[in-house]
Chain A
Amino acid sequence: MTDERLKKTSALRKAMIRPELGALAGVVLVFAFFLIVAGDSGMFAADGIMNWGIVSAQFAIIAVGACLLMIAGEFDLSVGSMIGFAGIIIAILSVQLGWPMWLSIIAAFVVCMSIGALNGILVIKTGLPSFIVTLAFLYILRGMTIFLAVATTRQTIIGGVRDASEGDWIAFIFGGVILKPVFQFLADIGLIDTYVRGTKIGQPVVEGLPMLMVWAIGLIVFGHWLLSRTRFGNWIFASGGDPVAARYVGVPVNRVKITMFVFSAFCATVLATSQVMEFGSAAADRGILKEFEAIICVVIGGALLTGGYGSVVGAALGALIFGVVQQGLFFSGAESSLFRVFLGTILILAVVLNTYIRRMITGER
């Protein structure tokens, strides 16, 4: 039966309750803004696009992990520290101990994902908020990272990773560049600029598609599919929406949450490995504040801090906004510290908008 007291919902209102909408509007705004302000600065030439694309991809990789975890009702504040930790582990094992690169990378994944599982188990077993448990690991992992680096090399930066990764195919999966012929072709037909002098003369300014971006796209597609199309995705929503109700109908809430902590650690390690391969070194201070940036991406993407609602596509759009703004300020010659001001402002706006949308969905007043 229709209820005569219900107003007709407009198409706009219907679209409004999609979690990604705010982020999509943000993307449009941000692109419009920088096209006007920095359109002629090279920001939207091939190398400029690659520049903010890579930064966005970095944000996206950790945002996907943070997004699924937040929808499952938990936070992971140890992501940033884990990025530094994973990098140092790879460098110490490969450069200092002489392990093959592929084994060092696998070892880093095993160690970090185990710590992710430990995070999850502690949260479940103690019943403490994940905020506290993972805050502890933010400090523990950062401390361990610096300690391990200094204890083995007397430095906080370990170089020489590039030589150690020469010819290693797992290293290529994280640090390689693909589709080089395609980019050369694009350069030949004039769509991408080429170097006009130096040793690389005639080669495109953008060599190819970095694996970091492939990972970002792959994780976004996987995360979106998992969350919106699978049984496990339904369990993620249920675990964050109301763990008790979910448990009563047989959803393995604990398993879901712990798996998501492991996945978040996995994403952090992917980013860490890619960075180590790209820079050819690991630094103990890498990843600082990344946990918060990931969370902000997710919130801009429309997820609720309380769990149970959100979207991977939204989080990815949030990451895109970040990448474009951070690099766009650089291209437009603005003071780069303003980026943090922007972060804080947009965070508040996003949370206000999300709270409003949540009221629309649940019909609260």
Chain B
Amino acid sequence: MTQDTRFHHGHATSRQPLLEMTDIEKHFGPVIALAGVSFDIHPGECHCLLGDNGAGKSTFIKTMAGVHKPTHGSIRFEGKEMKFESPRDAMEAGIATVYQDLAMIPLMSVTRNFWMGREPERGRGIFKSMDFKHANEITMEEMRKMGINLRGPDQAVGTLSGGERQTVAIARAVYFGAKVLILDEPTSALGVRQTAKVLATIDKVRSQGIGVVFITHNVRHSMAVGDRFTVLNRGKTLGTAVRDEITAGELQDLMAGGQELVELEGSLGGTV
């Protein structure tokens, strides 16, 4: 766990939260996916949302991102009560989401991906066209800032590694003014070095005053960059812990709901 010390950690808890979600419930027909979850994120912190598969992480972040409307509960963004009708609404407010496998379109160039949905234009009337010169310049520059040297702006995203793709998606969200950045399992499909790269990117983004919501089921990854930790289990929060007040082992137990993993751990020799 040498990564622990490589990152500075945010101390922003005194300020007003950027985004505050209180007592969120979400029902899909007879299924109660979320049964009263509260969560907040401050500027310049990395708040990890942990939970096992099926704990409700996906449903919760999709509620945060405007994909789902909560059945009950309130969402306050910068102190104002919000009702997101679509992901577009959430995005315009400044909540950007980078989904695990849907971040990028591999067959398209980095520039085309970077500007997708927000293409800069020049000219007027029916002759309006995409301003590729400007788009390419910005893309190359933003990629450099994140530590990715592209062969060219027309390089297909498919040629980038998984970690680089996540980084392009994060750079895109930051460039377009995200105040809250939701990262859905950004490290779960990556190798060790790629993971380190993405974690370093998270740290870079946090230092710019952006609130990062880091969803993961990997305790080690969360401990490496997280300032606060919230564990979801069966649609409920099991509380939020501040860094240095909790150990990796305790988080792991909370995620598994305590009991079962203790037994498992015995037979696996503490390797989980």
Q: Using A231-B130, A234-B115, A362-B158 as known contacts, say yes or no to A248 and B99 having CB atoms under 8 A apart.
A: yes
Given known A-B contacts A230-B128, A250-B87, A250-B88, A308 and B117 have beta carbons under 8 A apart: no
B contact residues around A309 at 8 Å (CB): 107
Map CB proximity to A onto B134-164 as digits: 1 under 8 Å, 0 otherwise: 0000000000000101010000101100000
Tell me whether B108 and A237 are in contact (CB under 8 A). yes
Kindly report which residue of chain A lies nearest to residue B103, judged by CB atoms.
A245
Given A230-B130, A245-B103, residue A362 in contact with residue B156 (CB < 8 A): yes
Q: How large is the interface on B (under 10, 10 to 19, 20 to 34, 35 or more residues)?
A: 20 to 34
A361:B117 contact, CB within 8 angstroms: no
Q: Inside 8 A of B88's CB, which chain A residues have their CB?
A: 250
Q: Which residues of A contact B103 (CB under 8 A)?
A: 245
Asked if B91 lies at the interface with its beta carbon under 8 angstroms from chain A, I say: yes
How long is the Cα–Cα vector from A234 to B132 in the complex, in angstroms?
11
Given the known interface contacts A1-B149, A2-B149, the answer about A234 and B116 at a Cβ–Cβ threshold of 8 Å is yes
Judged by a CB distance under 8 angstroms, whether B129 is at the interface is yes
Quick one: given A231-B130, A234-B116, are A245 and B158 in contact (CB under 8 Å)?
Answer: no
From B104, which residue of chain A is reached at the shortest CB distance? Answer: A245
User: Taking the complex as formed, is A217 at the interface, i.e. its CB lies under 8 A from any CB of chain B?
Assistant: no
7 closest A-B pairs (Cβ-Cβ)? Answer: A362-B158, A241-B105, A249-B117, A231-B119, A250-B117, A245-B102, A229-B129
Q: Is A171 an interface residue (CB 8 A)?
A: no
Expressed in whole angstroms, the Cα–Cα distance for A363 and B155 within the complex equals 12
Interface contact A234-B91, CB-CB below 8 Å: no
Is B112 part of the binding interface, using a Cβ–Cβ cutoff of 8 Å? yes
Interface residues of B in 72-106 (CB under 8 A from A): 87-88, 91, 97, 99, 102-106
In the complex the two chains form, is B116's CB within 8 Å of A308's CB? no
Q: Does B118 have its Cβ within 8 Å of any Cβ on chain A?
A: yes
Q: Which residues in window 216-249 of A have CB below 8 A to B?
A: 225, 229-231, 233-235, 237-238, 241-242, 244-249
Whole-angstrom CA separation of A225 from B126 in the bound complex? 12
State whether A361 touches B116 (Cβ < 8 A): no
In the complex, chain A residues whose CB is within 8 Å of the CB of B149: 1-2
Residues of B within 8 A of A9 (CB): 151
Min CB distance B16 to A, Å, is 28
Q: Are B102 and A244 in contact (CB under 8 A)?
A: yes
Answer yes or no: B253 CB below 8 A from chain A CBs.
Answer: no
Chain A residue numbers with a CB within 8 Å of B102 are 242, 244-245, 248
**A157: Cβ under 8 A from any B Cβ:** no
Contact A238 B108 (CB under 8 A): yes
Q: State the interface size on chain A (CB cutoff 8 A).
A: 31
Chain B residues contacting A241 (CB-CB under 8 Å) are: 105-108
Inside 8 A of A363's CB, which chain B residues have their CB? Answer: 158-159
Check B128 against A238 for contact (C-beta < 8 Å): no
- Pairwise interchain contact B97-A248, C-beta atoms closer than 8 A: yes
> A175 to B117, alpha carbons, bound, how many Å?
40
Cβ of A251 within 8 Å of any chain B Cβ, yes or no, is yes
Q: Which residue of A lies closest to B156 (CB)?
A: A361
Q: Which of A225, A231, A245, A358 contacts B105 (CB 8 A)?
A: A245
B198 to chain A, nearest CB (A): 16
Who on chain B is nearest to A237 by CB?
A: B108
B121 interface contact, C-beta 8 A: yes
Q: Which residues of A lie under 8 Å from residue B105 when comparing CB positions?
A: 237-238, 241-242, 245-246, 308
18 A-B contacts (beta carbon < 8 Å): A2-B149, A17-B156, A229-B129, A230-B128, A233-B130, A234-B112, A234-B119, A238-B108, A245-B105, A248-B87, A248-B97, A248-B99, A248-B102, A250-B87, A250-B91, A308-B108, A358-B107, A361-B106
Known: A230-B129, A245-B102. A362 touches B107 (CB 8 A): yes
B97: chain A residues within 8 A (beta carbon) = 248
Residues of A close to B156: CB separation below 8 A: 17, 361-362
Is A361 a contact partner of B107 (Cβ separation < 8 A)? yes
- List the B side residues contacting A362 at CB < 8 Å: 106-107, 156, 158-159
**CB of B153, distance to nearest CB on chain A (Å):** 13
Interface string of B108-126 (1 = CB under 8 A from A): 1000100111110100000
